[in-house]
Amino acid sequence: MDAHTLLPPGIAPTQAATRPRLAVHRLPMAHPGDLSALAALFDQGAIEPAQVVAVIGKTEGNGGVNDFTRGYFTQTLMSLLAARLGRPAAELLRELPCILSGGTEGVLSPHYVVFARSGRPAADAAAGPGPGALAIGTAVSAPLPAQHVGRWAQVASVAGAVREAMRGSGIARAEDVAFVQVKCPCVTAARAQAAAAAGHTVLTADSGRSMAAARAAGAFGVAIALGELPDDPALEAAMLLDFERFSRRASISSGVEVEANEVIVLGHSAAWEGTLRMACAPMRDALDIGAVAEALRPLGMNAAPQLSAADAARVAAVFVKCEPDRRGHVRGARHTMLDDTDINAQRHIRGAVGGMVAGVLGDARIFVSGGAEHQGPDGGGLVAVIAHAA
């Protein structure tokens, strides 16, 4: 899917820009069915509905298999867009990546980031290279059968979608990609039953484990598309086993509410204009506060220990992946996340790393997603920041 296909045919872009331009809106929600902030932007004319190319959000569920806040938000978003665009919601659902991570543990605040694209399609943009700006491309794969979840078929599906998204974005080279966000389907008890009835074997019928396997496959898919790992099916054996193999720019979520791999690619392109820039840094463990500084530095920001109000105002969105260290220790000290029957380990780690990153930023509107298998160093993850140039 090329992002600009969302422009209704025959409707010219409202701005006479010669280059495409990305706008990023970070919006609050009162509950997972509250899209009033986006509706208000539509009403004010700040965004045109047809400009919305992707949404990434943090809803207040538990982030697990039975987190229905993601489905609720998605249904509400698609209803809103369908009403404004005069298109069927089911059609939008298949085209528009809406990637949600459930779980606002600790200080984390429910919010969503709307990516809106204006200006000409990338293909028609002025020939000569400009100073460039942050660009976006999106793609949604074909629906993924349950028996493919966590296997090489899913890796290949994600890699293909990343390449398609890059093509549509005008991001010229893999090294220009700053960050790739993917949402992958997982196996539920019901889907496992259905696959079994159809004669297929799922990798695991345990929904929690299937989410981990799906995230691993997504990370490998991104890594292959970006040239971080070779495109070799033998690598399937490394998934969830060899954590030295990872992408430095992939952020993968998995959930019951999607049936296809949804991909959002963000990176810099000379064909785009605007003031937005993005940087991403790997986190080596859950205490790696230095990774936040490292992600802020290329954007010309320094937190000492917290961003100044002026710098904080430049920040448009923050994305974090993290993981409860599977070896049971953080810098030699035992943690209890993996042996806790009361609170899911991913909820634990999101709250802790979210608190740390929010402290540096001085802002609780941080997208923090657990399950960072092969997304950044083992036991760590990564942190990415979108900000306006100073």
Q: Determine whether the annotation assigns residue 372 to a binding site.
A: yes
Q: Determine whether the annotation assigns residue 215 to a binding site.
A: yes
* CA pair distance 179, 299, nearest whole angstrom: 15
Q: Please give, one letter per residue, the 3-state secondary structure of 5-24.
A: HHCCCCCCCCCCCCCCEEEE
Q: Determine whether the annotation assigns residue 376 to a binding site.
A: yes
**Nearest CB to a second copy, comparing residues 104 and 369:** 104
Task: Quote the least distance from Cβ 366 to a second copy, whole Å.
Answer: 10
Using CA atoms, how far residue 324 sits from 56, 178, 238, 319, 347, in Å, is 23, 24, 19, 17, 9
Look up residue 382 and give its two tokens: 């990564």
* CA pair distance 290, 34, nearest whole angstrom: 35
Does 183 qualify as catalytic in the annotation? yes
Q: Determine whether the annotation assigns residue 79 to a binding site.
A: no
**Nearest CB to a second copy, comparing residues 49 and 61:** 61
Task: Quote the least distance from Cβ 251 to a second copy, whole Å.
Answer: 19
**Nearest CB to a second copy, comparing residues 15 and 302:** 302
**Nearest CB to a second copy, comparing residues 244 and 342:** 342
Task: Quote the least distance from Cβ 365 to a second copy, whole Å.
Answer: 5
> Exposure of 64 by Cβ count < 10 A (0-12 exposed, 13-18 middle, 19+ buried)?
middle
Burial letters 298-312, b for 16+ CB under 10 A, else e: ebebebeeebeeebe
* CA pair distance 255, 65, nearest whole angstrom: 6
- The active-site residue, picked from 141, 183, 247, 321, is 183
Burial letters 203-238, b for 16+ CB under 10 A, else e: bbbebeebbbbbbbbbbbbbbbbbebbeeeeebbeb
**Nearest CB to a second copy, comparing residues 34 and 176:** 34
Of 302, 287, 325, whose CA–CA distance to 385 is shortest? Answer: 302
Q: Determine whether the annotation assigns residue 253 to a binding site.
A: yes
**Nearest CB to a second copy, comparing residues 223 and 252:** 252
Task: Quote the least distance from Cβ 237 to a second copy, whole Å.
Answer: 17
> Exposure of 349 by Cβ count < 10 A (0-12 exposed, 13-18 middle, 19+ buried)?
buried
Task: Quote the least distance from Cβ 206 to a second copy, whole Å.
Answer: 8
Region label for 205, one of left (φ > 0), alpha (ψ between -120 and 50) or beta (otherwise) = alpha
**Nearest CB to a second copy, comparing residues 176 and 206:** 206
Q: Determine whether the annotation assigns residue 323 to a binding site.
A: yes
Amino acid identity of residue 18, one-letter, is T
Does 253 qualify as catalytic in the annotation? yes
Asked if 101 contacts 63 with a C-beta cutoff of 8 angstroms, the reply is yes
Q: Determine whether the annotation assigns residue 102 to a binding site.
A: yes
Q: Determine whether the annotation assigns residue 365 to a binding site.
A: no
- The active-site residue, picked from 157, 210, 251, 253, is 253
Of 223, 241, 226, whose CA–CA distance to 326 is shortest? Answer: 241
374 Cβ contact partners less than 8 Å away, ≥ 6 residues apart: 215, 216, 219, 220, 223, 239, 243, 245, 246, 247, 250
φ, ψ for residue 229, nearest 5 deg: -135, 150
| Active-site residue set | 183, 253
Q: Which residues contribute to the annotated binding site?
A: 70, 101-102, 215, 253-254, 323, 350, 369-370, 372, 375-377, 380
Q: Which residues contribute to the annotated binding site for Mg(2+)?
A: 323, 372, 375-377, 380
